[in-house]
Amino acid sequence: MLYDNELMSCSQGMYNNKRSNVSGMDLYYGPENKMPVPCDTCDLMEQCAERIMECSAFKSWTTKGEYDSQKIGKLLKKAS
């Protein structure tokens, strides 16, 4: 009886002694938000949610964690 030892070995699971390449990586979950969500104080929050739109302040908040309060509700665009 012939068998291929490499095909029969398990590459994942509890019998694997190989280290994962992912376990040593730092995962980036986005910015640590310095300010609250700009939508909480905006009058257009429900309209944006229905039409799936976002303003300049929300885009800045999701990438940098902060925003200019004068840009809340300004430059509305369809979310991508």
Express each pLDDT in 30-70 by its tens digit. 667 788 888 888 888 898 889 999 999 888 888 888 888 88
Give dist(CA 72, CA 43) in Å, integer.
Answer: 9
More confident residue, 5 or 25: 25
Q: How far is CA 23 from CA 7, 10, 14, 17, in A?
A: 24, 18, 15, 13
For residue range 16-34, list pLDDT tens digits in order.
556 555 556 666 666 677 8
pTM over 0.75: no
